[in-house]
């Protein structure tokens, strides 16, 4: 496509003078650019297609970066990036050294906050707005948040706080009836009721806009607002939830009509209390395959634009976990599966269809899930919570107080453990081992293959007394892990057991260890690989092996500080180990975006690095 308009945009100022017809043409170019780029690089397509017109309207009405945009979750910021000087680099989206798929402050002054987790924009936006008020800064703060994020409790905490302020804070409620999967819960039903009265609110927004343009208009608007509220309450029996909290509610507005959006945003600018502007959009708008199946195209790998089919597919750990859980649930009616709006991503789609009465999607409410699961466990069910490692970080307090302290049994299937690749800093699952290691009575498994995964799930369900974590990486295992000797459920070995040098690791990079052992053997040096399947507690048998070795080389796909490498080394010293112990892990930093293989090499966790350490 010839990007006649898009290619000329170097900053948001370049769209200020565009007519609405030109903006409509620009929206078409933006959509094509999004589809073209994501089909090659992977990324979040459906959320971005749904907010093209909204983002254009925001940049036409407001003045970024003086007016600050806070995107929630941030995966819908692609159009924002195209309008803020990143068109020329957009083809590098989600690649090594390229632009991020989320907001990244170091990348542009227009990106205000890192954002990769849901429900943070209202809190952050309120803080920004209050700081502006204290600094006597009249510019605005706009939080753009989807209705899916309203299933998380942090949003309500922020609304409860913000409604009592006089902050210049505009909250754009992007209502597409979706989070990643279809929205669930009472708030989704509440929004459905509001959507049934769009004519009334459209009239209100138009009136406020007209009044804002005349002398004394704001004062008149405030008086009319009070009168209008009394009339509305008589007509509809109650005010909106937002108005009860102290916000001025506006909408619903057609989120794909740029002129109407601009009118509504102009009205919101002229209100002197916090505003909620309710915008209706279609997730995946403008691309047939994404509109038809927005959950699949929420976050997708490389795909064929014509057919919408992914260019590569294989059975992943997530898929295998879902299959195993269905098998177990067939003979055990006490098994329940829980997700925080991630049913498809965590492999639970089949379970949800086969056992709907035992499947719970609670929305984007990770903290709630854990305590909810504790209640299920207390009354003799076997809850399994499937969650991405990066989102499990939110559950730490509940895990300690509501699970461990209560001595309850909940199984945590921690997906995307370790490096995840192109989603970058906000999504790598490199912290879970360190923080989970502090929780009493919690057993942690980290399988490197499907055989271990099956054994771990079975153990967690039926052998372990208390709660257990089974953590596994994104994607499928390397076939070479089938070479392992499965000595016991706690660990496996490969190579010469009599060697005085041992490589120790766990999880995905076990395959790198196998390659290293094979390469060293070809050079005439025998080395043993010890792959830990159970990483907390580490089995006595594993210590027995290590205490006999002259050199132990430990490799960990996670943060070094508090990781298994440090704990194992300390335990060996306590047991009188006198040999050389070396750790290679991620040195307490946030990891950039790149392919998983590139990152494993960059952080010295590949077979070549293992060989060099052994030598």
Q: Per the structure block, which two tokens stand in for 409?
A: 């049994």
Q: Is 358 a catalytic residue?
A: no
The pLDDT, as a whole number, for residue 215 is 58
pLDDT tier at 321 (50, 70, 90 boundaries)?
A: very high
DSSP state of 304: -
Q: Which of 281, 310, 311 is nearest to 297 (CA)?
A: 310
* pLDDT tens for each residue of 415-472: 999 999 999 999 999 999 999 999 999 999 999 999 999 999 999 999 999 999 999 9
pTM of the model: 0.88
* pLDDT tens for each residue of 96-132: 999 999 999 999 999 999 888 999 999 999 999 999 9
Task: Say whether 371 sits in a helix, a strand or coil.
Answer: helix
* pLDDT tens for each residue of 268-299: 998 888 999 999 999 999 999 999 988 889 88
Write down the catalytic residue from 320, 394, 471, 474.
394
Q: Using alpha carbons only, what angle is made at residue 270 by residues 265 and 276, rounded to the nearest 5 degrees?
A: 55
- Strand order of the β-sheet with 248-254 is 68-72, 141-146, 169-175, 275-280, 248-254
DSSP state of 184: -
- Helices and strands (H, E) in the chain, number of each type: 24, 17
Q: Which of 449, 436, 503 is nearest to 476 (CA)?
A: 449
Q: Per the structure block, which two tokens stand in for 443?
A: 């057993």
φ/ψ of 495, rounded to 5, equals 105, -160
pLDDT above 60 for 583: yes
Which ranges of 77-171 would DSSP assign to H, the alpha helix?
78-83, 121-134, 153-162
pLDDT above 90 for 238: no
The pLDDT, as a whole number, for residue 234 is 44
Spatial distance between the Cα atoms of 512 and 599, rounded to a whole number of angstroms: 13
Would you call 212 exposed, middle or buried from its count of C-beta atoms within 10 A (0-12, 13-18, 19+)? middle
Q: Which of 125, 124, 118 is nearest to 151 (CA)?
A: 118
Q: Which of 409, 226, 286, 370 is nearest to 33 (CA)?
A: 286
The pLDDT, as a whole number, for residue 416 is 97
Describe the crossing of helices 258-269 and 20-41 by its angle, rounded to 10 degrees: 100
The pLDDT, as a whole number, for residue 200 is 46
User: CB within 8 A of 97, min separation 6: which ones?
Assistant: 594
Q: Per the structure block, which two tokens stand in for 441?
A: 């009575």
The pLDDT, as a whole number, for residue 147 is 87
pLDDT above 80 for 601: yes
* pLDDT tens for each residue of 20-44: 999 999 999 999 999 999 999 999 9
The two beta strands, 275-280 and 551-559, are: unpaired
Q: Is 195 a catalytic residue?
A: no
Task: Say whether 148 sits in a helix, a strand or coil.
Answer: helix
The pLDDT, as a whole number, for residue 299 is 85
* pLDDT tens for each residue of 123-150: 999 999 999 999 999 999 999 999 888 8
The pLDDT, as a whole number, for residue 201 is 45
Write down the catalytic residue from 29, 53, 208, 366.
366
Q: Per the structure block, which two tokens stand in for 337?
A: 């599966």
DSSP state of 479: G
Describe the crossing of helices 510-522 and 607-614 by its angle, rounded to 10 degrees: 50
How far separated are the first and last CA of the chain, in Å rounded?
Answer: 54
User: CB within 8 A of 68, min separation 6: which ones?
Assistant: 112, 125, 128, 139, 140, 141, 142
CB atoms under 10 Å from CB of 235, counted, come to 9
Q: Per the structure block, which two tokens stand in for 201?
A: 């609110």
Q: How far is CA 507 from the centre of its chain?
A: 21
Q: Is 366 a catalytic residue?
A: yes
The pLDDT, as a whole number, for residue 237 is 45
Task: Say whether 553 sits in a helix, a strand or coil.
Answer: strand
Q: How far is CA 357 from CA 338, 353, 368, 457, 550, in A?
A: 11, 9, 19, 21, 55
Quick one: average pLDDT of 585-596? 95
φ/ψ of 418, rounded to 5, equals 90, -155
pLDDT above 90 for 45: yes
For residue 85, what are the β-bridge partners?
none
Spatial distance between the Cα atoms of 487 and 476, rounded to a whole number of angstroms: 23
Write down the catalytic residue from 31, 86, 104, 283.
283
pLDDT tier at 384 (50, 70, 90 boundaries)?
A: very high
């Amino acid at each position: 496509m010839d990007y006649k308009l898009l290619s000329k945009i170097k900053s948001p100022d370049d769209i200020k003078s565009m007519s609405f017809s030109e903006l409509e043409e620009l929206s078409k170019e933006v959509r094509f650019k999004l589809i073209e780029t994501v089909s090659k690089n992977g990324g979040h397509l459906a959320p971005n297609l749904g907010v093209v017109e909204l983002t254009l309207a925001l940049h036409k009405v407001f003045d970024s970066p003086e007016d600050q945009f806070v995107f929630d979750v941030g995966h819908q910021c692609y159009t924002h990036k195209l309008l803020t000087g990143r068109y020329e680099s957009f083809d590098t989206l989600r690649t090594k050294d390229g632009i991020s798929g989320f907001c990244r402050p170091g990348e542009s002054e227009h990106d205000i906050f890192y954002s990769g987790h849901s429900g943070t924009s209202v809190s952050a936006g309120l803080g920004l707005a209050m700081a502006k008020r204290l600094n006597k800064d009249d510019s605005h703060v706009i939080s753009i948040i989807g209705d899916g994020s309203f299933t998380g409790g942090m949003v309500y905490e922020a609304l409860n706080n913000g409604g009592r302020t006089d902050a210049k804070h505009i909250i754009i409620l992007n209502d597409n009836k979706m989070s990643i999967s279809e929205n669930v819960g009472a708030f989704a039903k509440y929004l459905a009721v509001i959507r049934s009265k769009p004519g009334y609110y459209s009239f209100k927004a138009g009136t406020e806009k007209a009044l804002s343009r005349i002398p004394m208009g704001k004062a008149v608007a405030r008086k009319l607002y009070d009168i209008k509220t009394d009339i509305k309450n008589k007509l509809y029996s109650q005010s909106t939830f937002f108005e009860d909290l102290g916000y001025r509610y506006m909408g619903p507005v057609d989120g794909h009509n740029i002129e109407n959006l601009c009118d509504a945003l102009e009205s919101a600018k002229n209100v002197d209390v916090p505003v909620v502007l309710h915008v209706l959009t279609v997730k995946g708008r403008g691309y047939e395959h994404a509109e038809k199946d927005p959950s699949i195209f929420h976050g997708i790998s490389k795909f064929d634009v014509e057919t919408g089919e992914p260019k590569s597919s294989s059975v992943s750990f997530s898929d295998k976990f879902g299959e195993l859980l269905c098998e177990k649930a067939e003979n055990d009616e006490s098994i329940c599966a829980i997700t925080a709006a991630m049913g498809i991503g965590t492999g639970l789609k089949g379970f949800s269809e086969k056992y709907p009465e035992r499947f719970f999607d609670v929305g984007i409410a990770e903290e709630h899930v854990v305590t909810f699961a504790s209640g299920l466990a207390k009354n003799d069910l076997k809850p399994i919570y499937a969650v991405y490692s990066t989102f499990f970080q939110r559950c730490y307090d509940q895990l300690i107080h509501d699970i461990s302290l209560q001595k309850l049994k909940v199984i945590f299937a921690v997906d995307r453990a370790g490096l995840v690749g192109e989603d970058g800093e906000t999504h790598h699952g490199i912290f879970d081992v360190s923080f989970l290691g502090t929780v009493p009575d919690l057993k942690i498994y980290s399988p490197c293959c499907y055989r271990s995964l099956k054994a771990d799930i079975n153990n967690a369900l039926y052998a372990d007394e208390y709660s257990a974590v089974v953590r596994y990486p994104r994607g499928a295992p390397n076939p070479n892990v089938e070479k392992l000797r499965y000595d016991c459920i706690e660990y496996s070995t490969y190579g010469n057991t009599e060697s005085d040098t041992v490589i120790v690791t766990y999880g995905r990079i076990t395959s790198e260890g196998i390659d290293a052992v094979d390469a060293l053997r070809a050079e005439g040096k025998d080395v043993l690989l010890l792959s830990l399947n159970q990483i907390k507690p580490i089995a006595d048998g594993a210590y027995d092996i290590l205490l006999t070795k002259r050199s132990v080389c430990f490799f960990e796909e996670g943060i070094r500080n508090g990781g298994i490498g440090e704990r194992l080394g300390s335990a060996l010293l306590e047991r009188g180990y006198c040999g050389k112990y070396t750790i290679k892990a991620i040195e307490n930093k946030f990891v950039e975006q790149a392919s998983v293989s590139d990152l494993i090499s960059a952080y010295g966790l590949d077979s070549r690095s293992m060989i060099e350490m052994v030598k």
